[in-house]
Amino acid sequence: MTAVTPKFVTLVSGLPRSGTSMMMQMLDKGGLPILTDRERAADDDNPRGYCELEAVKRTKDDASWLNEAPGKAVKVIYWLLKDLPDIHQYRVLLMQRSISEIIASQSVMLARRGETGADVSAEQLERVFVKDLDNTKRWMASRKNFEVLEIQYSDVLTDTQGQAENIRCFLDLPLDVVAMANSVDQNLYRQRS
């Protein structure tokens, strides 16, 4: 990438099943190092892997993993963003996806695992997701150390190179936009509205 390591941490966030793994893979192929421990193996729901770092789940008690995060990308599910310490600058790629697609994707994933989800209707779950995401956006907007780019999952699939260029400009990094775009597998868009 560059001789100078960026001072900010790139965060890929959003609701579960919103395209965060796809975005991490795009960044990786584009030349931005990603933080992942590969503990969560690839499966039928994410055949290319989840690109997660288990230490992120323990950030509230131990944020030491952030010492190696500037200049890299890490996936942080939306409800854990508030656990991040204020001492770092963050640029957030916030993945957006149709709530109905998210719920359908989660249902398929849970069924494949033989699990049941929360005992709530799809309508209730949609209200919770919308409210939580709105609260998270307002919270990030109130923080001086957060910059956010909202990215529509469907836009990444319909204008892959254009979205990769938007991400490159937002991060202001010399990412390989063509490699980012080529990493997107349209066949993995399985639950559509």
Q: Which CATH number fits the domain that encloses residue 63?
A: 3.40.50.300
Q: Is residue 2 part of a domain?
A: no
Task: Report the predicted TM-score, pTM, of the whole model to 2 decimal places.
Answer: 0.87
Structural domains in the chain (count): 1
Q: How far apart are the C-alpha atoms of 58 and 74, rounded to whole Å?
A: 14
Helix or strand holding residue 185 (H, E): none
Do 72 and 171 contact (CB within 8 A), yes or no?
no
Is residue 193 in some structural domain?
no
* 140 in Cβ contact with 148 (< 8 Å): yes
Query: How does pLDDT run across 22-80, given as a tens digit for each residue?
Result: 999 999 999 999 999 977 766 566 656 678 899 999 999 999 999 999 999 999 999 99
Residue 19 corresponds to which tokens in the numbers above? 């395209």
Residue 106 maps to a domain: yes
Task: Note whether 27 and 34 are within 8 A (CB).
Answer: yes
Q: How far apart are CA 73 and CA 149, in angstroms?
A: 14
Residue 146: inside a domain:
yes
Provide the domain limits for residue 145. Answer: 8-188
In a domain, 47, yes or no: yes
